[in-house]
Amino acid sequence: MQETRIAVLGCGGRMGRRLLAVTLQSDGCRLVGGSVRSESPLLGQDLGRLAGHGDIGVESSANTREVLADCEVAIDFTTPEATAQHAAMAAETGTALVVGTTGMTDDDLAALQQAAERIPVVYGRNMSLGVNLLALLVEQAARALDASYDIEIVEMHHRHKVDAPSGTALLLGEAAAAGRSVALAEVERQGRSGITGSRPAGEIGFASLRGGDVPGDHSVILAGDGERIELGHRASNRDVFALGAVKAARWVKGRPAGLYGMLDVLGLGAAQQA
């Protein structure tokens, strides 16, 4: 089996280091590069050491374009602004891209769409295989139950997370909205405070909790009169996201240009060609 040459962008952070480690541990993968900011104290350090392994003879670099040019697939879990820039660079170098960055704006997503006209891009708010299966179940449940069942989505993450609701919560909200054939923007309610009045029928609510070192807990509650259905997912560590991203990196190699999702990686959805 031919190895997939993988690089990790933003490899010095907590998620970046787990991506390095999982890539090193995965069959059919070869870690060939990693980028950090030019001012990072981790610049020039061996990627194997950053991953908690022995030295592998590949050092972190601040030259992202060079890192992209030297790999077949780059994995990006950085920041929305950085990801948009990386997507433009990847389109120029012809490098496939796997993006798990959260908090992306419409402009950031437009940058991914533009890059996907030239290269294959896998984008997922959550790379966990279990979460993506959960989204399918949520869509089916919302389709089967009418608006007399109220939908609430509760998520909890570590104290350092900067965006809310989480990208995964929004993913699940979009799945619920799709099941009811409505646009999430028309029915969502992000948080409640004060005298809010009665809950409107068909509303999809979000609640965000922050604390400790929780990698990610998500629950979707469908509450009707006399019964309540709860669908959920709990991540016990970040490796579930890294494993999904590496699976996506191996899958996307050699694909036609286009924007793909994790359901495409799992063989459960039709790719959206850009």
User: Residues marked as binding for NADP(+)?
Assistant: 37
Name the 3-class secondary structure at 223: strand
Q: Is 247 a catalytic residue?
A: no
Give the Cα separation of 216 and 6 in Å (integer): 26
Feature table: binding site = 10-15, 37, 100-102, 124-127, 158, 167-168
- Annotated binding site for (S)-2,3,4,5-tetrahydrodipicolinate, which residues? 158, 167-168
Annotation: binding site for NAD(+): 10-15, 100-102, 124-127
CA of 176: how far to CAs of 28, 90, 169, 188, 238, in Å?
Answer: 36, 33, 11, 11, 25
Pairwise CA distance, residues 234 & 230, whole Å: 13
Determine which one of 53, 86, 160, 161 is catalytic: 161
Q: Is 157 a catalytic residue?
A: yes
Are 73 and 4 in contact, with CB atoms under 8 Å apart?
A: yes
Catalytic position from the list 53, 86, 157, 233: 157
Helix 106-115 crosses helix 80-93 at what angle (to 10 degrees)? 10
Q: Which two tokens stand for residue 113?
A: 């769409």
CA-nearest of 225, 231, 219 to 201 is: 225
- Residues serving a catalytic function are 157, 161
